[in-house]
Structure formats: C-alpha cells, structure tokens
Structure 1
Amino acid sequence: MRRLAATTAALAAILTVFTPTLGFAARDDRSVPMRFALVGSNPADHCPADCSWLISAYGSITADTPRDFRAFAAGKDLTGATVVLDSDGGSVLGALAFGREIRRLGLATTVGHIEAADAGKGTPLRIDPQADCESMCAFVLLGGVHRHVPAKARVMVHQIWLGDRRDDPTAGSYSAEDLVLVQRDIARLAQYVVDMGVGAGILDLALRIPPWEPMRELNRAELQRLQLVTDTAPSAAIAAVTPGARVMPAALVRDDGSNVGRAGWALLDEMQGTALTRRHPVTVEGEEIGLFDLTFACGSSADNYIVSYSETRARRNGDPATVGEVTLGIASRTLPLTIVPRKSQTVTEADGEIETFASGIVPGELVRALAGGKPRSLVVATSMAHAKAAGEATSIRIGNVGFSRNFPKLAASCERLAGNAVADAGGRIATKLNANSGALAHAEEATPKR
C-alpha cells in the first residue's frame, strides 16, 4: 500500500522526462504501435530513492510489443516503477506476453496519458487521468502487482474476435480453423487470469459483449470486484455481488428462418421496387432478445433514400415498456427515425413481444459513404419509452459487407424512378397546358370580333 500511495502521489506531481526511448506519441494517434518512455517525478538526471518512475505505454498492442518492452527495459533499474496505460487494445498474444513481462519485473499499473511539456506555452509535463484502457489493455492492467484506475479513466472490455472480420462480424464466414484459433486464445486468456491471481470474472464479462455492441465500461464496483484495482480492498458487500440474473423472455421472438440479409446486405427486387436490406440480432451484452431488419429504398428524389427499421424483441424482466427512440448513425451523423405507432407495439401477456417500426430520410451522400470501398459501418441505437427500462437500450454496429456490391443497382433503380416521375410530371403538365391552350383557343373563337 505504501508503494501504491507513492504511485498515486507521483501521478499528481510535476514530472520530467528521463531517457525517453521511443518518445511521446500525439494524443490523437492511438493507432500507432505502442511506444514507451521513462518518466521520473524528480527533475534531477537520476531518480533518487524517494521518487517513483513512471513508464508511458501509449498506442496499440501488437505482436512486437513484448519484444519492444523488453528492449526498452533492458539495463534499467525499474524497481517500484508504474506502467501508465493508454491503449485501444490489440493483439491477444501480444497483450498477454506484455502483461507477463510487467508481472515478471514486479511493476505496478495504472491508466492515464503522459503529456509532454511545451516550453513555448509554459505547460509542464503532466499526467491526464482522462484516458482509456480498452479491450486487451484491461488484461495488461492485470499484470501490475499493484493496480490503480483514476476516477476519470475508463476500462472497457468486449469479446476477442478475428481482426479481419471485426468490421462486419455477422456477415463473415468462419472455418473450423478459425474456431480453433479463437478457442485457443480464450484458453490462454483463462490461464493468464489464473496466473495473475484473479478470478475468471473479467473474462466472463468480456466474453458476453459481442463485437457489434459498444465496449462495456466497468464501473468502480466492478473494477474492485473483478480485481482490476488493488488500491481499495473490496468490502464484503461488494465481494458478494454477482452479475445480475437475467430473466428469460416469456416467449421467443419470431424468426421466419429466412437467411436474406443475415450474411451481408442483400438486394430485394420486388413489385414494390428495389431495396437493400440487412437482418441482425438485437442483443444486450451478448444475449439475443430479438431481430431487426434495416432497409434502404428509393426516396422522393435521386439524392435521398428512405430507411426503415422493423424490429421484434422479447419482453424482458416482466416490463411492458415499448421502444421509444430509434436512431441511425452514419459517417459521424446521428439521424433520429420516426416511430410509426402500431397497435402491435402494445405488449400483451399472451405473446410477450414488442414490435416496432420506424422510418426516416437519409441524404444520398451518407448512403454513398456507406457504399465506399473501405470497410465502413453504421450504428442502430434504441432506447425504451420508460425510464425504468433504460437498461434495455441497445446499440448495434453493422458493417457494409454486400452494400458496395449491391448499391449501384439500387442507385440505378432510384434514378429510373426519379426519371419516370419527372417524365410523368412533365406529361401531366403538358396535358394540362394542352387542355388550357385548347380552352383558350375555343374561348377566342367564341369571342365576337369587333
């Protein structure tokens, strides 16, 4: 505890850089491979016995991170040092090996971002506690013999997944070898948490969150219960807390067995017109509670599209609340959809289901962005109409597999419809003008000439 107190004090101190190995990365450059720098809380060119060394660890964890860290630490006396983590995660095997190196050296861990001094602005070197430790970074945090998470820092977790299929996981195809790879890594994670001396709670929670849901931020009680922090001993009450039991729905949501739109965006070419549709499960922390269809169809002009959202979900925990809001996020824009009141949206004891239909207009530029060549995604979010059901809010990320391939057909169909509409409108105007001209000529003939 004395060492941890010294670490906490060091976080608030004015710091000076000592032998930065790879230097500080820009704050908005978290995608770069992780870099390390050694920082001391004393302005001298060495760290006396009463100061604490801090190691800045910023960036993505790669397969090379453990090797880079060993090279960084070689020849340095890091006794009592603390690794300051600010990372969006990365390689599973790289993170586990990095965490083991931290434990082997007897280092502490915390979450934060060390910001370099700016002599021109007179800004001193400091640690910003508003930092994130995401995904596999949470397991690196466990490597510390002492672990501290500032109140303003965030630790977030989710399932591990194959990196090349994370952008649109439900549209990907998976071989037996892929499943073996994932299961092997889960087994390694399980062994790692045992070796770090903590329970399997952190792994259990992470494996609930599928890649299409937002990462799960851990609250203070969870950080303590799951032993990601050691600075506060968990009370008996907190230690006794178990994950909330989930009440199974009274009835399963309907599934017609159709595979249309399940493996990517599919083109529908029916009597009503051409459309692009996608079917996706509705989940809350990985538990499937329903299904929804998201469909793009032609709008009133060639430069906008109608989007419709149709969802069926199970009534959970005995709450008859209905969906009160549906939003669509594309290219940093959030578009609210209008929920169409339907009699079936009232939940009954008999069916135990909630049906929701919503629609809206999406500018063509946003739809074309989704059809871009690079992997892109959109986010469908819902919230319940009653505050007491706020825990059933959902946020689902969907990739664009199949969208780029099929969008040109939808766009061409919409252009034809717009052209036909213009032609029809022109025909109606011409007919009206001809009728008016005929009436005018008839009137002129009927008018007596002077």
Structure 2
Amino acid sequence: MRTEADVIVIGAGPGGSAAAYYLAQEGFDVIALEKSHFPREKVCGDGLTPRAVRELQLIGLETPREDGWIPNKGLRMIGGGHRLEFPWHDLESFPDYGLSLPRAAFDHKLAQHARAGGADVREGWFVTGAVRDERSGRVTGVTAKRTDANGRKVGEEVTYSAPLVIAADGVSARIALGLGIERKKNRPIGVAVRTYIETPRDTEEWMEGHLEIWDGERGASNLLPGYGWIFPLGDGTANVGLGTLSAKGMPPKLDHRALMADWLEHSAADWEFGDQVGDIKGAAIPMAFNRQPHYVPGLMLVGDSGGMVNPFNGEGIAYAMQAARRATEAAVASRAATTAEQKEAALASYARMMKDDLGGYYTMGRVFANLVEHPSVMRLSTRYGLASPLVMEFTSRLLADVYEPRGGNWADKLLSALTKITPAA
C-alpha cells in the first residue's frame, strides 16, 4: 500500500474533498484519509447559499434536481411579527439560487468527485497524529489506523509521509490540538441541533429562518441570539434545526433540544410536521477564525479545523471549499519556486490569503455576535429592522455574505468597503 504522496489531506468533507480535487487537477499526487465510510451522517442544516453553490460550480460538480439537489429562491425570514421573503440577488459574481441536499449525500458526492478528478480518497482511516521532523519541527506526515464500519480503530498504525499536510478534520481539530494550536477564547462559537421531519411542504422553494428563539417564558429578556431553520429537501422531509451563538467563545449552557421543541410548538404549525425521521443531533460550530495560525511549517488548516465558519449565519461549507482553493494556489506557487525559502514563503502565503479574503468580514461578525447577545438588540432588530426595506437590502447581503465585491448597488459597495477597511484578526 502506497503511503507517500505530494500532499496528505486529513478528512474528506467539503474542505478536504475540494482540496484533494483541486490538488489532483494541478498534478499533485494526493492521498485523502477519511475516518468514516461513505455515506456517513453529518450534523448540518443541509442548506447551501449562492456562495456555496459557486464553489460547487468552480470544481465542476453538477447539481441536477434528479440527483436530489433542491434549488431555492432565497430566504424567508420570520420574526418580530414580520414574515418577509428575500430572493437571492441577481449578481455577476454569484448564482441567483441556493441548494439543499442532506450532508450524507453531499459529502459522498464530493468525495466521489475528488476521486474522479484523480485524488486517492481512502475511507476508514483515522488519523491519530502528525509526524514532525525531530530537528526542524516541520510536519512531514501523519500516523493513521484503519477503522471498521462501526468506527472502531483496528490494525497497526501506519505512517503516511508528504511535504505538505492539509488538516480538514473538522471541529475536533485533533491534528491542530496535537501541535499545540489552541482555540482562541475571544472568538464566537455556536451550538446547533437538527433533525429531519416529515412535511407536505417538502418542495417549498425558500429557506426559512425564524429569528425569535426564547429561553423559557416568551419575553424580551429571554430572547436568545440565534435562529431556527426549516430547509425543505424534496423527499417528503425538511431539515429542521436551531442554533445559538456565544460571543465569548464558550458554548452556551442551554438545552437546545428543549429550545427546538418549544420553538416548533409555537412557530411552525403551518409546516404541518409529521413524524421525526432519525434522532436530534447536535454539534459545536467554530467561528471567525477561532483557531490560528492557519499555517505552520508543513501543515495547513482548512475549514472547521481553522474556525472558518461565518459568525453571521453559521455557514461553513462555502468557506471550507474556498480555503481549499487558496491552499491549492499556495501549493502551486510553492512548487514553482526555486529556493527553499521561496517555497516556504509560498506555502505560508495561504494564511495571509485567507485573512485577506475573510478577515475583515469575520471581524465584523465578531462585533455582530457581541451585539446580538443582548436581548434588547435582538428584539429591536427583529421588530424594526425587518420592517425597513432599506435596512434589509443591506442586511440580507451582510448575513448571507452574498454581495457584488466590485460594483453592484449601494448596499454591495458599502459592504465591500466595510470588509476592506475593517482590520483582520
């Protein structure tokens, strides 16, 4: 069994599979190690904004409806006595539609696409740690064990070697932690729960968000920072979930399953929900670059392992795939360099590119997280903000991170300017 490559990718979720695909297309010998066996379940809302759809287009993955991809027109927001629909904007830089597909199918399709693109994607390999050069400390590979269908590690540990390792191992960030790359405690973190519920409105063409989540008795002082969602899946069910946000970097001590039950009882009767399909599952959501640096010699962090989730809306797929693109660009530049110093500088440019791309926007997201932790701010925002077309013209772009970076209308220009002048951190 071959254990040496140009690049070892840890994880075959959206970030890992996209990285494996891009690198293979550029002629790199890539081995991607996925601890599970596809198809495998993942806690997620299953909804893709136009930003994520664009990333799928960039890797050439087809998304026909007959394969389960359900398109949507935009966001329906409910809160403060308002019920408003915001179509996805007609922009040059993004498609004018979103998509929904269960993550069990989504990740499997991405892994298959990476294989078809030339990457060696190996399922059932649990990466146990990074291998470092004893003298320089540089990451030179990983150790891994096989896993069986139940996720149990079996057999002897195997060492995989490569000049570059990409850690796309999710929120656990085991490899980063093993290297001493700790989570920043001053960055927001979310907690989300979701399940699948039968509904006759499974072909609805809107992603629905409920902006009022109450902790116990329904009153202004009990309004939580977060939202509930209902994303139709076209198979007789919808992905139904709820997430809350903590600006202080510690997961909120809330019973999220109870919160979801209360929200559904009071706010979603029009969906005519039937039986629940499967258990309610939860996960932490690392946001706003809460783990850095994104590059240490020989290793890049991609996606959730680097805290690359949008603090405004909890989306992570688009940013993990964007990071995969940037990682590949850095690897290509390193291969073209002629000296060891130039090669290393090219790899290190990955972290700078990610900050240039997202740092300002994520800093704004940190400010947003601190504001919405105050129930009075949430109450005023839902009651009065949703009622103002001018405010929502800007806010809908801000929350979804879908705007024209060059040109566009006044809202696009303002948001583009704000992200550029806001310092990255």
Q: TM-score range by the shorter chain?
A: under 0.3
Q: What is the TM-score with the length of structure 1 in the denominator?
A: 0.24
- The structure carrying a bigger helix percent of its residues is 2
Q: What is the TM-score with the length of structure 2 in the denominator?
A: 0.25
Structure possessing the higher relative contact order (Cα contacts under 8 Å, 6 or more residues apart): 2
